[in-house]
A = this chain, B = another copy of it.
Amino acid sequence: MRRSREATAQSRERIVSEAAQLFRERGIEGASVADVMNAAGMTHGGFYRHFPDKDALVAAAVDRAVDDVIGQIDQQAATEGLGAAISAYVSMYLSDDHVKSPRYGCPIAALASEARRAPETTRAAVTNGLASVVERIGKALPCEPEDQRPAALAMMAMLVGTVVLARSTADKALRDELLQAARAQAIG
């Protein structure tokens, strides 16, 4: 049954949105096309009316996840200033909730090691997201302008590394220690 243009656009929107969450939660290989379509309320066959293949969905989903994160930062920066927005971002990043729920969290921390073997479109989306966040962190750092970028890169590496390590270890105490150590370094 053919759908209206609006309904078609909404379907695509649901597919991308669910994919952005499922890929972060289960990994790219861990979430199948059928999984995503079911989450979007459809069967798998219709997928190819929206995307040429799974790789195209992956790229769109990573783009979406990146846009969401950057959008949140920029929105808060517009009302409360960039410094407050970055502070909030770092606090969120190093929170228990973020470690526990990759679904709505940083796509880079969730997908980074799969991205290494992903097609160019996906790698480009990750690179773009990384560059955008680093740029905003840099501007918010209280140091000499020429030191902002390296400091922002090192900060981002520590954020990503902390969350990746906290998620990979089974030891709750070690997880807490990691988060606290990173907070001390990043905030205090």
Contact = CB atoms under 8 A, between A and B. Distances in A.
A38 to B, nearest CB: 19
Contacts of A153: 177-178, 181-182
A182 B178 CA distance: 18
A30 B170 CA distance: 23
Interface residues of A, number: 49
Identical chains in the assembly? 2
A111 interface: yes
A21 interface: no
Contacts of A108: 165, 168
Interface string A100-133: 0010000011111111110010011011001100
B164 A113 contact: yes
Contact of A130 (B109, B149, B159, B174): B174
A34 interface: no
Nearest to A25: B117
Nearest to A152: B181
B127 A169 contact: yes
Contacts of A127: 168-171, 174
Contacts of A14: none
A151 interface: yes
Query: Which are the 5 A-B pairs with shortest beta-carbon distances?
Result: A161-B161, A157-B161, A150-B181, A153-B181, A160-B161
